[in-house]
Structure 1
């Protein structure tokens, strides 16, 4: 039996459990993932569609599906945290890695759509690393 990981949104209104049984893990640099996350890339884990148990707040989950392309995002209506969602074709549950409260055992398989990686991110990963805000 796989280890069970909890996840919850920033405000705590939505919570779930999920088995640490992920088939794929990608960092995606495409323009859509950058816009959906507001960051340099999405960090998405893929698992079976039924691998989630909502503990609370399922009524606070809002879903956005792009009308012309096959990408989506689910988020907490209170705090905006990204949440797991079923792919549009229904074949996978996509889980934003940052929403989990423990490290998944799955390591990153690939960085995808790297041609769309923002220049500022390419520069940013080479500069000084700090444990908190710089002094």
Structure 2
């Protein structure tokens, strides 16, 4: 088993993740676009035992979108960087791929919510687009 490190921009928060990911996707839903300010979110998923905070957990803030059954996000209170969070069910940890400091050695395997993509995004490559 290989472990990769991650953290926020200001380095106040650090974490580690045991590979492999259970899934690795690019999500085009409007909520992920809003949370990232980008065309899509790139998220890796692991089971909770594969994730550990190394430092700065007190700097992690969580936002649960009130009108959503399951949408949440976490970020560094110091610099605002997106950070990993446990799903509301507690069954998975979602890791923003941009917060990884090490190369996990794999790439996203699909584009989720492709039909919800930003109107100005014409192509995002050749990943499968279920829907």
Q: Settle same-fold status: TM greater than 0.5.
A: yes
Residue 17 (structure 1) shift: 1.2
Q: Is the Cα–Cα contact under 8 Å of residues 5 and 102 in structure 2 kept in the other structure? A: yes
What SS does the aligned partner of 1:119 have? coil
Asked if 1 retains the 8 angstrom alpha-carbon contact of 2:19 and 2:104, the reply is yes
* Structure 2 Cα separation of the partners of residues 122 and 103 of structure 1: 27
- CA-CA distance at 1:37 after TM superposition: 0.5
If the length of structure 1 is used for normalisation, what is the TM-score? 0.85
Q: 1:19-67: CA deviations, max 9, x gaps?
A: 1221101100000000011100010111001222211110000000011
Match of 2:82 in 1: 82
Return 5+ residue gaps in structure 1 as ranges.
Answer: 127-135
**Deviation for aligned residue 1:107:** 3.0
| SS of structure 2 residue aligned to 1:59 | helix
Q: TM-score, normalised by structure 2?
A: 0.88
User: Alpha carbon RMSD of aligned pairs, Å?
Assistant: 1.6
Q: How does 1:1-135 map to 2 (within 5 A)?
A: 2-69=1-68, 70-122=70-122
The size of the alignment, in residue pairs, is 124
Contact 1:22 1:106 in 2 (8 A): no
1:100-130 deviations in Å (ceiling 9; x for gaps): 012223432210111111122227x69xxxx
Q: Which runs of 5+ in 2 are unaligned?
A: 126-131
Query: Segments of 4+ in structure 1 off by > 6 A?
Result: none
The higher radius of gyration belongs to: 1
